Structure 1
Amino acid sequence: MPKTPANRRPSRITSAAMPVWATGRRRVLTVRPMRRVWLWLLAALGLIIAAYLGTPETRLANGSGPIAGAVDRVIDGDTIDLAGQRIRLAGIDAPERHQTCGAANGARWPCGDTARIRLTELVRRQMINCQPQTYDRYGRLVARCEMVTNDLAGQLVREGLALATEGYGLEQADAMLHHAGVWQGPFERPADWRRREGAGSEESGSPSRFDRFVAWLIRLLGS
């Protein structure tokens, strides 16, 4: 019988080296930590969507009372989303988003985008109160909207970032006198610009259900 060399130890079979079936132990299925996180996130998302779908959508009809709240989204210089409605500020017409106007030095400046940005600044973190009046041909609610002591449309006209179409004559006269906004140089009236460009309202009607969900989610996280 061959002898085992003195410097060679006999090999031992350890349980660590043996397959699971040989140890008689069952494999325990575990959920990886990242997978567990994703499962929690999906469950939370499902609960959020279910809560939103269970919330009735706000629909306003002609002759409805005033609506108030924080603005969900500013569309352009005279249009906002509030309480599930797309609202055009009554009595004014602001330059379109892609419209440019002439500056005092002869250059062009983005008057449409400037009006949108200014309206965004005015309504940021503010409670807005809107009194519905009618609906326009695009299905937007036309309303007079105010902050605590400031009429939004009047402020835009006063700064030369919107033209008065009904009322706001004094505000427009003041803007013209001080060459504010569009009155600093030559410009095209928004209605004429839309007619020339063949542009209607890209954001007509009420906001989509997805837009309303995003606005609802932002309000939920901010509350």
Structure 2
Amino acid sequence: MLTFLLAAAFYAAPEPIYGIAVAGDGDSLTVAGQRVRLFGIDAPEFDQACTRAGKNWSCGREAADQLSKLVTGRQVRCAPTGVDDFGRTLARCSTAGIDVNTTMVALGYAVAFRRYSTDYVSAEEAARNNRRGMWAGTFEMPSQVRSAAREADRRPPSSRVLKQRPAAAPRVVASGACNIKGNRSRRGEWIYHVPGMPYYAQTRAEELFCSEADARAAGYRRALVR
């Protein structure tokens, strides 16, 4: 009976994901067409700013760039640990013998997501002690940034200062390369979604952009993900 149960557990284990990877932000990527969220770590939001030597710097974008350097265009192996609320596969990933989850934390471009795992606490402590990445200055924990953004979204429009923009018909650019979706919520939020993000397929595009810079210039902010 014990042998049967062990065999059943073995065969129930999810299969690893192998393939060429493309980075999304600092803790998410797409591997062989599957959306993956790096398990146990939390990187700054894409538009999040940190401070270093008294000046702001784009730690969210640099975290995304760092993950891109590690994985984009390379063969990556991801061992699934579950699925998150957005349907992404949670996984520990590696490429060319490099543990991607650990490396992002050790370089200071992500923190240990203690709510879900303590596996990367020692890597975080090493980054903090050596003042690497975000630890070279000050920053808000990514989870706090998301929580504050969600709280702002829940406030009624009368309590928020909304952008005043002239009314105009939705602009949709018809191009295969221009696939960043801009969407305007009933609360007055202007949010854009890039391919591979949660809810991208369900999002109705009121405007399409060819780059994130174009979307931000038009007054949109990047959708927040966990």
- Sort the TM-score into its range (normalised by shorter chain): 0.5 to 0.7
Q: Partners in 2 of 1:192 and 1:201 — Cα distance?
A: 21
Deviation at 1:63, TM superposition (A): 4.2
Q: Partners in 2 of 1:159 and 1:113 — Cα distance?
A: 14
Which has the larger Rg? 1
Is structure 2 residue 19 aligned with structure 1 residue 69?
A: yes
Structure 1's consecutive aligned runs of 4 or more residues displaced over 3 angstroms after TM superposition are 199-202, 205-208
Q: Partners in 1 of 2:121 and 2:50 — Cα distance?
A: 21
Is structure 2 residue 39 aligned with structure 1 residue 90?
A: yes
Task: Show the counterpart of 1:161.
Answer: 109
Q: Partners in 1 of 2:199 and 2:123 — Cα distance?
A: 29
Secondary structure at the counterpart of residue 76 of structure 1: coil
Give the TM-score, by structure 2 length: 0.60
Asked whether the 8 Å contact 2:107–2:133 carries over to 1, the reply is yes
Q: Match for 1:102 among 37, 43, 51?
A: 51
Asked whether the 8 Å contact 1:95–1:115 carries over to 2, the reply is yes
Is structure 2 residue 72 aligned with structure 1 residue 120?
A: no
Task: Show the counterpart of 1:218.
Answer: none
Q: Partners in 1 of 2:90 and 2:201 — Cα distance?
A: 14
Q: Partners in 2 of 1:197 and 1:148 — Cα distance?
A: 37
Asked whether the 8 Å contact 2:23–2:72 carries over to 1, the reply is no
Task: Show the counterpart of 1:129.
Answer: 77
Q: Partners in 2 of 1:83 and 1:207 — Cα distance?
A: 18
Q: Partners in 2 of 1:126 and 1:106 — Cα distance?
A: 36
Deviation at 1:173, TM superposition (A): 1.1
Task: Show the counterpart of 1:193.
Answer: 145
Q: Which has the higher helix share?
A: 1
Q: Which has the higher strand share?
A: 2
Cα deviations by residue, 1:114-136 (Å, 9 ceiling, x for unpaired): 00001111113421000111111
Q: Partners in 2 of 1:91 and 1:78 — Cα distance?
A: 10
Which residue identity does 1:108 align to in structure 2?
N
Cα deviations by residue, 1:141-183 (Å, 9 ceiling, x for unpaired): 1011011311101001011000012211221111001111111
Matched pairs, number: 145
Which residue identity does 1:161 align to in structure 2?
Y
Percent identical pairs in the alignment equals 34
Quickly say closer, same or farther: Cα 1:172–1:144, change in 2 above 3 A: same
Quickly say closer, same or farther: Cα 1:207–1:130, change in 2 above 3 A: farther
Structure 2 unaligned blocks of 5 or more: 1-11, 154-190, 203-226
